[in-house]
Amino acid sequence: MLKAMMLAAAAIAAPVLANAQETKMTGPVYEIAIQEVKNGDVAAWTAARAPLLEGLAQTKGVEEDWTLKAFFTFPEPGPLPVYVGLTRWSSIDDFNAASSAMMSMPQVQEFFGKVNMQAFVQVATADGQPFILEDYINKKGQVLEVAVRTPKAGQEGNFDAARAGFFGKIAEQPGYIFDREFVTADNKKVVMIGWESQEQFMAALGKLSQMPEMGAFFSIVDASAYQAAVVE
């Protein structure tokens, strides 16, 4: 599913993204597409993506993809269903080539008309080391948090310390699986956090929200997108 949606967005956004890139992304990249279904019409969204999936199954560079249904939004959920899509590409060049090839397809434009994009980014690991999502998230009921956030102006130098304090507390919570930091080509910061279950995620959130480390971290960042989604 995700490949279709991501390439749909790429057809519109690729020229802008190309201009925005500041650094060369090397190695495999994850494409993250957080999509709100227009009018809540999941049936129309599903039907529009079907013809795209057929052609994209053999797309060069696609290693794996996922679609997860969001159940929690920060700060508050909207009334429409949201899905978090991820695709791992062998390289940013493979992604760019695929998106360029899809730009003129009417099916892509039709599908894009079915969603409101809350986030559409391509990311590489911040530490440059490999990351295989399915090594961690591979069972029904597991939860993946995805957040796109950027340090506020003047707070760039405080990000690492505030993150370490907050994520140290996250890692202590029952049900925690992993967290991994990513960056976009234009230096946005993206995180994925894995949990064993929705119940454990919600319990952890309740505890963390009372901790000063969480307040300290969120006070220095602007979050442009945040969803917690479950493997169905």
66-115 residue pLDDT tens? 999 999 998 778 899 999 999 999 999 999 998 888 777 888 888 889 99
CB 91, CB 61: distance < 8 Å: yes
Domains in the chain (CATH in brackets) are 2-125 (3.30.70.100), 133-230 (3.30.70.100)
Per-residue confidence (pLDDT) for residue 56, from 0 to 100:
66
Contacts of 112 (CB under 8 A, 6+ apart): 8, 9, 11, 12
Pairwise pLDDT comparison (220 vs 7), residue with the higher score: 220
Pairing of strands 221-230, 115-125: unpaired
> In Å, how far from its chain's centre is CA 24?
20
164-177 residue pLDDT tens? 999 999 999 999 99
**Mean pLDDT, the chain, as a whole number?**
88
Q: Say yes or no to pLDDT of 4 above 60.
A: no
Pairwise pLDDT comparison (138 vs 2), residue with the higher score: 138
Q: Say yes or no to pLDDT of 3 above 70.
A: no
Say if residue 106 is preceded by a cis peptide, omega within 30 of 0. Answer: no
198-209 residue pLDDT tens? 999 999 999 999
Give 139's pLDDT tier (boundaries 50, 70, 90).
Answer: very high
Q: What percent of the chain has pLDDT over 70?
A: 88
In terms of Cα–Cα distance, which of 220, 214, 211, 224 is closest to 158?
A: 220
